[in-house]
Amino acid sequence: MLSIQHISKQFGPVKALNDVSFEVPNGQILGLIGQNGAGKSTTFHSILNFIQYDGTIRWQGKPLSPADFDTIGYLPEERSLMTKLTIEQQIVYLARLKDQSAKDIRPRIDDWLGRFAVKGTRKSRINDLSKGNQQKVQLICTLIHHPKLLILDEPFSGLDPVNADLLKQAILRARDDGAAIIFSSHDMENVSALCDQLVMLRKGDMVLHGTLAEVRNQFGKTELYVTTDWSADRLATLPGVGRVDLRQPGQYLLHLTDPAAGPTIFAELTQGHYIEEFSQQPPTLDEIFRMKVSEDHA
Amino acid sequence: MHKTWIVTLETYLRQIKSWSFLFMVIGPFLMIGLTVGISYISANSASSSKEVAVISTSKPLRRAYLRQQTDNLNTRITTVSAAEAAVKKNHLAGYLQLSESHQQIRADYHGSSRMASGLKAQTQNFLQQYQQARNYQQAKLTAKQQRLLARTPVLQQHIAKKAGTANLAKTISFWILVTMIYIILITYASIAAQEIASDKGTKIMEIIFSSTTATSYFVGKIGGILLVILTQIIIYLVGGWAGYQIALNSTAVKPLIAENQSLIDAVLHNLLNLNLVYLFLGVIIYTILAAYSGAVVAKAEDASKAAQPVIMLGMFGFFATFPFQNNLDALFVKILSYVPFFSSYFMPMRIINGTVNGWEQLISLLILLAAIALFAGYIGSQYQRLMLQTDNRSFWQHLLHGWRHQD
């Protein structure tokens, strides 16, 4: 388990992290969300001891030491490889630094290239690969030694939906193998699809923490999805409705000022008759993200 | 240690396989080969026209001349007409006509240009001796009278030996050694700075530092560069030895080597001893400094700028030796022979001159080794912070920041 307790980091006058605490148990995925400059990469750099920080970070109950390096898989935010090497040379070199033998790694390379649908052979030079394929090779370098702690900084950036799906499968496989995984992303859909828990940072402060359900439920079931022949103006007169958004003709999203108004609205809207859609839900992660960001701007 | 070796091997193989290394190593051999080849072709093409024929109606006189003198002589041509024809066709440089009339020896040279100075001197010497022998014979002198007349004055120089003065072998050894240190240092300071700075540019360092410690990686990088330097030195030593063996078997060069054998032996002795260790350690400490300079730059393009302070320091050491070649007892030389970065230039000077004892050499060597260890340890501890710094601060700001924040 990765345990982060009360870590803070200051860069000159800027507070990059302020008393951040969370845990990532083995076999679980934690998503780290936040705007640019929120402190996501600083958190990763603190975990990896790249920078000095205040607070405690423990991996499997002990401070992270060079002895743990071989069990870590790290994908930095900015992609970079040794462009003059071939795919095989690059993978073998980085795997050997993770204490893997070249003899063990070489037979696995073709399988991994196939798994990520890399356009190129093991003898292709990194320089000759497209940006997307270079990114996939870097992902292979991060995963091929079966890390127990996986740290992925914006792993989905630059990947098309097909390749993003391939990456999701690889992350889920690593989780099933018992790895503790922490990754950052701006794409809330990926976070919702993968994470067991999430943390949102805003200017170094931890503003959200919990499972996806816990986080969403913190905001109450304030979103009501209905399909009806009522007009938007008429829907706005219902009790507890703050705002009405038209989704599609006949389909609306009602923003409730009071989640308890749900049953009353249901009774008035249906009048005891069949209604195609009536779904009261907490806000989506995307909406929560926007809400939290706008709180800061307010 | 295992990961350090992986980094060393990767750095070494990448450098060795590069075209720049190949050209750097074979460059001097190509230059030497080209020079020798051109000289050989030019000598061969000119060989026929350099020869001189010796013509004489007196067979004993011609035989005596040929016994004394054989180089560049054509012995096949024996008549004036044949010699004139050969000169016209540029097969002969000229012909020497020897004659004797009324006990007077005479030599007439006919050619398209003046006689070569060596041949002229030898011919004059022969004529002098031959004429003298004839004169003694004619004058009917006794053996004692002949000895008395043959007596010549003596001029001998007596030079007082000074401890700090270098002789020819020492001077040659000194120049070879300091030039080798200087050239290797200048070459590899840039390579080391570039190698480290190019890592920084790619930001692959974050991945590497999640796999191994910065110190281990830094030592591995330096190890790789030093292996490349060692490879180059070994190639030059083997190449030099092979060239020497070829020269020993060459009829053209062998006499020259034999003539200067003691000088060559003395120079080799001066080079192939502790001085070679000084050369290598000197290059190590400068390479570490260059690597540090490479680590503080913000972009790979600034690497050449980063290597400048190291190159300047190396140049200072190199040029500082010049005024002291003939004054190796100077206090300045003695002090700098213990100061790291300079001891690699100054201690070999003193060793070559034989003015330093074993203990002094050992102390200087230990100071240099300790400085290398401390320096590498310090930079290793700073390396991760330096390599992950990616702001736009200038080289000097980074350097100052590096010294101020030794966390």
- Put simply, whether A128 touches B (Cβ < 8 Å) is no
Provide the residue-wise pLDDT of chain B in tens; the chain has 407 residues: 688 999 999 999 988 888 888 888 888 788 888 887 887 777 666 555 678 888 988 888 888 888 876 677 888 888 989 888 888 888 888 899 988 888 888 999 998 888 888 888 888 888 888 888 888 888 888 888 888 887 888 888 776 655 444 577 777 888 888 888 888 888 888 888 888 887 775 678 889 999 998 888 988 988 998 899 889 888 888 888 888 888 888 777 777 788 778 888 888 887 777 788 888 888 889 888 888 888 887 776 776 677 888 888 888 888 888 888 777 778 888 898 899 988 888 888 888 877 788 888 889 999 999 999 998 888 888 888 888 764 445 556 655 665 555 44
C-alpha triplet B144, B149, B155: angle, nearest 5°: 120
| CB < 8 Å to A59, chain B | none
DSSP category for residue B299? S
Q: What is the pLDDT of residues A39-61, one digit of tens each?
A: 999 999 999 988 889 999 999 99
Smallest CA–CA separation between B364 and chain A, in Å?
Answer: 36
Cβ separation A84–B2 shorter than 8 A: no
Which of A68, A69, A81, A97 best probes binding to B when mutated, by most B CB atoms within 10 angstroms? A97
Which of B210, B217, B218, B401 best probes binding to A when mutated, by most A CB atoms within 10 angstroms? B210
Question: Residue B366 has what pLDDT?
Answer: 93
Cβ separation A50–B14 shorter than 8 A: no
Smallest CA–CA separation between B207 and chain A, in Å?
Answer: 6
Nearest residue on chain B to A73, alpha-carbon basis: B210
Both structure tokens of B112? 């398209």
Smallest CA–CA separation between B370 and chain A, in Å?
Answer: 26
| CB < 8 Å to A94, chain B | 207-208, 211
- The average pLDDT across A238-253 equals 92
Q: What is the pLDDT of residues B328-385, one digit of tens each?
A: 778 888 898 899 988 888 888 888 877 788 888 889 999 999 999 998 888 888 888 8
Q: Across B70-227, where does the E strand assignment appear?
A: 73-74, 94-101, 104-111
Question: Residue A114 has what pLDDT?
Answer: 92
Cβ separation A50–B207 shorter than 8 A: no
Cβ separation A97–B6 shorter than 8 A: yes
Question: Residue B202 has what pLDDT?
Answer: 62
Q: What is the pLDDT of residues A130-149, one digit of tens each?
A: 888 998 999 999 999 999 99
- The average pLDDT across A162-171 equals 90
DSSP category for residue B321? T
Interface of A with B in 11-50 (CB under 8 A): 45, 48, 50
Nearest residue on chain A to B11, alpha-carbon basis: A93
Question: Residue B322 has what pLDDT?
Answer: 82
Question: Residue B148 has what pLDDT?
Answer: 85
Q: Examine the pLDDT at A178 and tell me if it is beyond 60.
A: yes
Smallest CA–CA separation between A252 and chain B, in Å?
Answer: 48
Query: Rounded to an integer, what distance in angstroms lies between the CA atom of residue B84 and that of residue B68?
Result: 24
Q: For residue A189, which phi and psi values (nearest 5 degrees)?
A: -65, -45
The mean pLDDT value of chain A amounts to 90
| CB < 8 Å to A74, chain B | 206-207, 210
| CB < 8 Å to B6, chain A | 93, 96-97
Q: Nearest by CB to B211, which of A50, A94, A151?
A: A94
Question: Residue A291 has what pLDDT?
Answer: 82
Q: Examine the pLDDT at A103 and tell me if it is beyond 80.
A: yes
C-alpha triplet A154, A160, A166: angle, nearest 5°: 80
Question: Residue B406 has what pLDDT?
Answer: 45
Cβ separation A70–B211 shorter than 8 A: yes
* ipTM associated with this complex: 0.85
Cβ separation B3–A76 shorter than 8 A: no
Query: Rounded to an integer, what distance in angstroms lies between the CA atom of residue B342 and that of residue B368?
Result: 10
Which of B211, B219, B388 best probes binding to A when mutated, by most A CB atoms within 10 angstroms? B211
pLDDT-based confidence at residue A252 (cuts at 50, 70, 90):
very high
Question: Residue B117 has what pLDDT?
Answer: 81
Q: Nearest by CB to A76, which of B3, B10, B203?
A: B203
Query: Rounded to an integer, what distance in angstroms lies between the CA atom of residue B182 and that of residue B160?
Result: 33
Q: Examine the pLDDT at A209 and tell me if it is beyond 80.
A: yes
- The average pLDDT across A196-212 equals 91
| CB < 8 Å to B2, chain A | 99
Question: Residue A25 has what pLDDT?
Answer: 94
Cβ separation A66–B202 shorter than 8 A: no
Establish, for the pair of chains A and B, how many residue pairs have beta carbons separated by less than 8 Å.
Answer: 55
Smallest CA–CA separation between A153 and chain B, in Å?
Answer: 11
